[in-house]
Amino acid sequence: MTLLGMVAPVVPAAAAAPMPMCEGIGTAKVLCSFDVPPGVYRVSLALSGEQAVSVTAEARRVMLPPSSTLKRLQAFAVDVRDPEGEPTLQTGTPGLQVRLTSADGTPVRLDGISVRPARQLRTVFLAGDSTVCDQASAPYTGWGQMLPQFFDVRLAVANYADSGEGSASFLATEALMPTMERRIRPGDFVLVQFGHNDKATTAADYRRNLGEILDRVIARGGRPMLVTPTVRQLFDSTGQLTPTALHVNGLGVNLPAEMRALAAERGVPLIDLTSRSEHLLESLGPTASAALYLPEKKDRTHNSEHGAEQMARLILTDLPLSLHRYRRR
């Protein structure tokens, strides 16, 4: 099945040719909607001329890197789910939505868009909390929403992270681990970040929960990778991050240290996002690093769009070669 829409050359908005799947042709904001069932799809775009255009899909996922010299033909893979955002919330719109927005307010020069099923593509699944998930409303943004833009059309990102989840609740909730698990195929990747909501989890339980996630992913033929949690923006008087910021929980358990040790024991790849984000925040200092978070909402845990993109870039730094090969060139 191929769904294809060809757009007429952009003319003044009042005379723009009608397109059933796209709204806003001839304006700076175009929304294209496709009535497709859940699954993985390849989306191809034909864009004319040089123009800075942001391309997002579904729940505010950034699908292509912004550029002032976008190639005429662009493609990306997108995971369509119901619900399209956080798995435990009934949010979003059925089918697939693709949004194109020009940076300078000029009409988006879209010549064509096509959508076709891509069932055999490799998938990277995300298991985590609100710092990872597909946040419905700006400025809140999970790093998982920023990740798709960095991979090429051979890889889809399926984000099963959910607000408020810890390592135990993710396992126990049907819409999370059990649902994600059923979709994992041999060779798929699974990035696992927990810690923010394991405030009262013992070291033994934390490692047991993570170990069960690893076992279940491996049993499906998946390739798990542990990701230590992003830091909170909490500084002490010396300009260093506090133990709470670094995820030493209420029981005194250093959760990132436990995850590092488990990764070493199990021979599982580790992305040390705690250390990477700690270094980033301390190099910026308390004032400059605030832009990565939401101080206007008195929130030092969740990231802004800018902050989420920076966290996603830190993850890319530690990607193993098996996943790095899918990076967009």
Mean pLDDT of the chain: 92
Q: Where residue 68 falls among pLDDT bands split at 50, 70, 90?
A: low
Q: In what order do the strands lie in the sheet with 53-57?
A: 22-23, 29-34, 96-102, 53-57, 61-64
Distant-in-sequence, close-in-space partners of 144: CB < 8 Å, separation ≥ 6: 126, 128, 132, 133, 134, 157, 159, 161, 312
Q: Do the beta carbons of residue 271 and residue 220 sit within 8 Å?
A: no
**Range of the structural domain that residue 26 is part of:** 3-10+19-117
How far is 79 from 269, CA to CA, in rounded Å? 24
List the CATH number of the domain containing 201: 3.40.50.1110
pLDDT, mean of residues 113-138: 96
The last residue of one of the domains, among 59, 91, 117, is 117
Instruction: Look at residue 316 and tell me if it is in a domain.
Output: yes
Give the angle 125-130-132 at the CA atoms, nearest 5°.
35
**Which positions ≥6 away from 124 have C-beta within 8 Å?**
147, 151, 155, 156, 157, 158, 188, 189, 190, 191, 323
pLDDT bin (cut points 50, 70, 90) of residue 73 is confident
- Give the Cα separation of 311 and 193 in Å (integer): 12
169, 278: one domain: yes
The reply to whether 187 falls in a domain is yes
Is 292 part of a structural domain of the chain?
Answer: yes
We report the CATH number of the domain holding residue 74 as 2.60.120
Helices 305-317 and 273-288, interaxial angle, to 10°?
A: 140
Residue 100 above 50 pLDDT?
A: yes
Residue 190, pLDDT score: 98
* Number of domains present in the structure of the chain: 2
Are 112 and 126 members of one domain? no
Per-residue pLDDT band for 15 (boundaries 50, 70, 90) equals: very low
In a domain, 329, yes or no: no
Query: Domain ends where: 86, 117, 148?
Result: 117
Q: Where is 63: in which H helix or E strand?
A: strand 61-64
94: tokens are: 């059925």
| In a shared domain, residues 202 and 267 | yes
The band of 317, judged by pLDDT with boundaries at 50, 70 and 90, is: very high
Whether 135 maps to a domain, the answer reads yes
Q: Which residues, listed in sequence order, are joined to residue 253 by a DSSP beta bridge?
A: none
pLDDT in tens, 141-173: 999 999 999 999 999 999 999 999 999 999 999
Q: Which of 83, 117, 151 is the last residue of a domain?
A: 117
Q: Is 237 inside any structural domain? A: yes
Does any domain span residue 287?
yes
Query: Taking 60 as the threshold, does the pLDDT of residue 2 lie above it?
Result: no
Confirm if 110 and 174 have CB atoms less than 8 A apart.
no
